[in-house]
Homo-oligomer: A and B are copies of this chain.
Amino acid sequence: MNGAESLVHTLLANDVNVCFTNPGTSEMHFVAALDHIPGMRSILALQEGVATGAADGYYRMAGKPASTLLHLGPGLANGLSNLHNAKKAGSGVVNIVGEHASTHIELDAPLTSDIEGIARPVSHWVHTSHSAATVGADAAKAVQASMKAPGQIATLVLPSDTAWNEGGVPQDAVDLPAPAPFDESQLAQAVDALDGPETLLLLGGGALTESNLETAGRIAAKTGCKILSEWSNARLERGAGRVFVGRVPYPIDIALKVLEPFKRIVLIGARAPIGFFAYPGKPAILTREGAEIVKLADAGADLGAALTALSEGTQASATPPAHVVEASMPERPDGPINLDNLAALIARAIPEDAIVVDESVTTGRAFSPATKGAPKHTWLNNCGGSIGYALPASIGAAVACPDRKVMCLTGDGSAMYTVQSLWTMAREKLDVTILVFANRSYQILRGELTNVGVANAGPRAVDMLSLDRPALDWVQMSRSMGVDAVRVTDCDGLEDALADGLSSGGPNLIEVML
């Protein structure tokens, strides 16, 4: 058995059975091993940002890592920004990066680079194997590292001679790390703090499951505290019958206003609210001055246990939860599409058990309230702020959950970053309906230009924020990669397109003209 074969056997023994890849010469032995060892679903991406973003979406929905197989430093580099997003989301990913044979590295060939150096800023764990004999054990350690709660980026660099040499030793399933205990020393203080509407219970990460939200709802009902989630959530369970949780708003002035009432904040899997960016003359810490912050459980802790303890401490366990959402549906709008009737149409279309991958940026600010009463669904946000996450993450979500429908909501600027995703969706026949919001600009930056204090931007500045010269034709773009597409300009058209797309069973794209 060679090193490459020991890698594949070890990953499979550890239940890592999906590989998002764009391999090159230095990975050919892995490709060969994937070929003759059954069990790994290998999915080709035409740019590595697609592969790493897919691994992020996969982890969020599967609760276990996918592997990526990347070509040397440059292949890893192309996937780096979506690894950044995955890291911030607490997603586990096992990156396998090919490297030149050990004897070749010192020759400084064209593709030679500092792979560990490239990996480190986005990885929690980085290791280079030094012989075929250790590849299996190293791969097992990578899986362990990736599964440290809430999920980590593990990058294993494999020189090609460690792949092709004989002497590989596959590893059986290894123990996976348990989440850390929550901070019991803070429990009494947290229980004391939960005292009426001047207290905020701020939830993040794994606190946003259906059952954890229900516990939070009981606590809110019993104590009168408010609950909110962070602005960016890796995975939020929503819809009719579940406890509703709003998000701390993105715009800084609105966030300050929303958070101003809270004298006490208890954190469960969340961090104390800060601004996405700093702005001249505005605060970056969004909580009121002197607010008491109780850190009961960070993202890596057992959040279910923390909420249960809090519920018991406040004697809320038998209290029916507050904020349980009743099924509701916005009125059917008609006429031209604006942000409100767009939100209404999306809310009306969300299928039961759908996964909504949201990178709608400015267009989507009205989506949360409008979709509150839709059938049960799962909502994924971009957690790292690097645009181009939604199309790849939709691939990963669809691969993880083949029986669920995926709705991908993305701005046109974001979608262009990883547009190659469409081809992979077509190849894998994934059940994804994509809405591209074609406002033909980096709309968010128009606001940000004002926020940083720039009034009266001139034409050269505006040109750097505009996508309308030339206009992108998303229908042709999508079809060129094998994904059926349609353009809609009014509510009737969008309603029909959503009905058609969501019932098609395969990938499809709707260009929504704004």
A188 on the interface (CB 8 Å rule)?
A: no
A253 on the interface (CB 8 Å rule)?
A: no
Contact (Cβ within 8 A) A448 B25: yes
A100: B residues at CB distance < 8 A: 277-278
A472 on the interface (CB 8 Å rule)?
A: yes
Contact (Cβ within 8 A) A417 B280: no
| A80-B118, A460-B42 known; A417 vs B385 contact (CB < 8 Å) | no
Contact (Cβ within 8 A) A31 B464: yes
Interface centre among A21, A31, A88, A472 (most CB of B within 10 A): A31
Q: Which residues of A, 73-130, contact B by the 8 Å Cβ criterion?
A: 73-75, 77-78, 80-81, 84-85, 88, 100-101, 103-104, 107-111, 113-114, 117-118, 120-122
Interface residues on A, range: 35 or more
Contact (Cβ within 8 A) A73 B84: yes
Q: Which residues of A, 25-67, contact B by the 8 Å Cβ criterion?
A: 25-26, 28-29, 31-32, 34-36, 42, 44, 46-47, 49
A173 on the interface (CB 8 Å rule)?
A: no
Instruction: Please give me the residue from chain B that is nearest to A46 by CB atom.
Output: B416
Contact (Cβ within 8 A) B384 A110: yes
A234 to chain B, nearest CB (A): 11
A149 to chain B, nearest CB (A): 18
A426 on the interface (CB 8 Å rule)?
A: yes
Partner of A73 from B49, B74, B121, B461 at Cβ < 8 Å: B121
A453: B residues at CB distance < 8 A: 164
Interface-side segment among A191-199, A213-221, A302-310, A473-481? A473-481
| A25-B451, A35-B457, A113-B122 known; A464 vs B44 contact (CB < 8 Å) | yes
A290 on the interface (CB 8 Å rule)?
A: no
A419 on the interface (CB 8 Å rule)?
A: yes
A458 on the interface (CB 8 Å rule)?
A: yes
Distance, CA A73 to CA B87, complexed state (A): 13
A507 to chain B, nearest CB (A): 11
Distance, CA A26 to CA B44, complexed state (A): 34
Q: Which residues of A, 1-42, contact B by the 8 Å Cβ criterion?
A: 21, 23-26, 28-29, 31-32, 34-36, 42
Q: Which residues of A, 454-472, contact B by the 8 Å Cβ criterion?
A: 454, 457-461, 463-465, 467, 469-472
A401 on the interface (CB 8 Å rule)?
A: no
A80 to chain B, nearest CB (A): 4
Distance, CA A280 to CA B285, complexed state (A): 57
Identical subunits present: 2
Distance, CA A234 to CA B451, complexed state (A): 43
Distance, CA A461 to CA B445, complexed state (A): 43
A178 on the interface (CB 8 Å rule)?
A: no
Contact (Cβ within 8 A) B80 A278: no
A300 on the interface (CB 8 Å rule)?
A: no
A284: B residues at CB distance < 8 A: 101, 103-104, 107
A205 on the interface (CB 8 Å rule)?
A: no
A482 on the interface (CB 8 Å rule)?
A: yes
| A423-B470, A480-B476 known; A460 vs B35 contact (CB < 8 Å) | yes
Contact (Cβ within 8 A) B464 A23: yes
Distance, CA A138 to CA B30, complexed state (A): 45
A274 on the interface (CB 8 Å rule)?
A: yes
Contact (Cβ within 8 A) B467 A46: yes
Q: What are some 24 contacts across the A-B interface (CB < 8 A)?
A: A23-B464, A25-B452, A35-B459, A36-B458, A46-B413, A47-B388, A73-B81, A74-B81, A74-B84, A74-B385, A74-B386, A75-B81, A101-B278, A104-B274, A107-B274, A113-B122, A118-B118, A118-B121, A161-B280, A423-B470, A427-B469, A470-B481, A471-B482, A472-B480
Q: Give 4 A-B pairs besides A31-B454, A111-B386 with Cβ atoms closer than 8 angstroms.
A: A34-B461, A470-B482, A476-B477, A476-B480
